[in-house]
Amino acid sequence: MHFRYLGQSGLKISEITYGNWLTHGSQVENEQAMSCVHAALDAGISTFDTADVYANTKAETVLGEALKGERRESLEIFTKVFGPTGPKGHNDTGLSRKHIMESAHASLRRLQTDYIDLYQAHRYDYETPLEETMQAFADLVRQGKVLYLGVSEWTADQLHEGHALAKDLGVQLISNQPQYSMLWRVIEGEVVPTSIELGISQVVWSPIAQGVLTGKYVPGEQPPAGSRATDDKGGADMIARWLRDDVLERVQRLKPLAADVGVSMAALAVAWVLQNDNVATAIIGASRPEQVSDNAAAAGVEIPAEVMSRIDEVLDPAVERDPARTEHASPKTREA
């Protein structure tokens, strides 16, 4: 495993992060989830990402159980706050001081830890003053319950505002967690340049585009049994946008390029996002332990420039680059 600094901080994290969105507590049974976490540890992964909203808090509970007994100082545990949890009442969502404080303490209990290494605003809250949000985060840092602060899917302007407030409060905003892959490059135009300016790293999710970039989805054929595309608990909805024959046909043309690099299609996709110097780590998910090992093989892989250019040529018509898509990631109202 290779390690990188997160933002302008002294915190090192593994290039590959194990995440449990859409798996633990929902798609994958607990025993299998435990096996995936242990496979991650065996692969040298030290960084784990979750969120209270995943499976309505169950994902955090499963991760806490899976990591119990491991040396806490050797791990970096990330979680997030924003989405509706519990009975989804009027204060069970957003980035108000009330929801942040209650959510942080609940996450600590579920994760069975005294502190969270990176606490992230899962989306931008248009209904709460940003000053209130950042003050609550800063208080958690001063209490020792959170070490560093991050956000997820914030625009360049929102990163500027949040970073400035964090600096005024004497705390560190060091990361952004956006979607990023060969097919989804919306952060490259504005978010990445701003992040470089501010000393913020990207902690990217969906580097294999929900599994599409593994090549297992073949144009004109039914999705493989047990795959993300057949998951009726949310996975199928998330992957649907990529299951067009024109996209799948282009992805199939990446197979010889992966062979040239000497890695699997999945590892090629993960290694591709890691070629971006502003990316500190790529979050991988898994429903089987062998998937963890396959994806983790991307750590330290250098893709030759000519292969990077060829990937662009193959995928270009199917790539989404519009920076405005980031703004659409956060609901304008909490009820949305």
In a domain, 332, yes or no: no
Q: What is the pLDDT of residue 161?
A: 97
Gap between the Cα atoms of 49 and 167, Å rounded: 25
pLDDT digits (tens, 9 = 90+) for 295-335: 999 999 999 999 999 999 999 999 999 999 998 889 888 76
In a domain, 166, yes or no: yes
Q: Which residues form the domain of 55?
A: 3-327
State how far the alpha carbon of 323 is from the alpha carbons of 80, 179, 188, 269, 297, in Å: 23, 12, 8, 21, 30
CB 128 within 8 A of CB 162: no
**Mean pLDDT along residues 151-173:** 97
**How does DSSP assign 33-56, residue by residue?**
HHHHHHHHHHTT--EEE--TTGGG
> Looking at the chain, how many residues does it have?
336
Q: Is the pLDDT of residue 78 over 80?
A: yes
Q: What is the pLDDT of residue 22?
A: 64
pLDDT digits (tens, 9 = 90+) for 206-223: 999 988 999 888 877 666
CB 256 within 8 A of CB 265: no
Q: Is-catalytic flag, 148?
A: no
Q: What is the pLDDT of residue 240?
A: 74
In a domain, 274, yes or no: yes
In a domain, 157, yes or no: yes
Q: What is the pLDDT of residue 217?
A: 83
In a domain, 89, yes or no: yes
**151 sits in which H/E element:** strand 146-151
Q: What is the pLDDT of residue 238?
A: 65
Gap between the Cα atoms of 283 and 266, Å rounded: 12
pLDDT digits (tens, 9 = 90+) for 29-75: 677 888 889 999 999 999 999 999 998 899 999 999 999 999 999 99
Q: What is the pLDDT of residue 245?
A: 87
Q: What is the pLDDT of residue 31?
A: 78
Please state the domain count of the chain: 1
Higher-confidence residue of 148 and 88: namely 148
**246 sits in which H/E element:** helix 245-252
CB 99 within 8 A of CB 92: yes
In a domain, 334, yes or no: no
User: And the tokens for 48?
Assistant: 């784990």
Q: What is the pLDDT of residue 23?
A: 59
In a domain, 226, yes or no: yes
pLDDT digits (tens, 9 = 90+) for 88-145: 889 999 999 999 999 999 999 999 999 999 999 999 999 999 999 999 999 999 999 9
- Grouping H, G, I as helix, E, B as strand and the rest as coil, residue 286 is coil
Q: pTM of the full predicted structure?
A: 0.91
Q: What is the pLDDT of residue 147?
A: 98
In a domain, 248, yes or no: yes
Q: Where are the beta strands (DSSP E) in 251-326?
A: 279-284
Q: What is the pLDDT of residue 37?
A: 92
Q: What is the pLDDT of residue 25?
A: 52
Among 14, 12, 71, CA closest to 48 = 14
Given the DSSP bridges, would you call strands 12-14 and 146-151 parallel, antiparallel or unpaired?
unpaired
| pLDDT band per the 50, 70, 90 thresholds, residue 244 | confident
Q: Is the pLDDT of residue 235 over 60?
A: no
Gap between the Cα atoms of 134 and 166, Å rounded: 6
Gap between the Cα atoms of 141 and 117, Å rounded: 10
In terms of C-beta density within 10 A (0-12 exposed, 13-18 middle, 19 or more buried), how is residue 323 classed? middle
Q: Is the pLDDT of residue 20 over 90?
A: no
Q: Which member of 5, 18, 54, 217 is catalytic?
A: 54
Domain of 208, CATH number, reads 3.20.20.100
pLDDT digits (tens, 9 = 90+) for 254-296: 999 999 999 999 999 999 999 999 999 999 988 888 889 889 9
Q: What is the pLDDT of residue 286?
A: 83
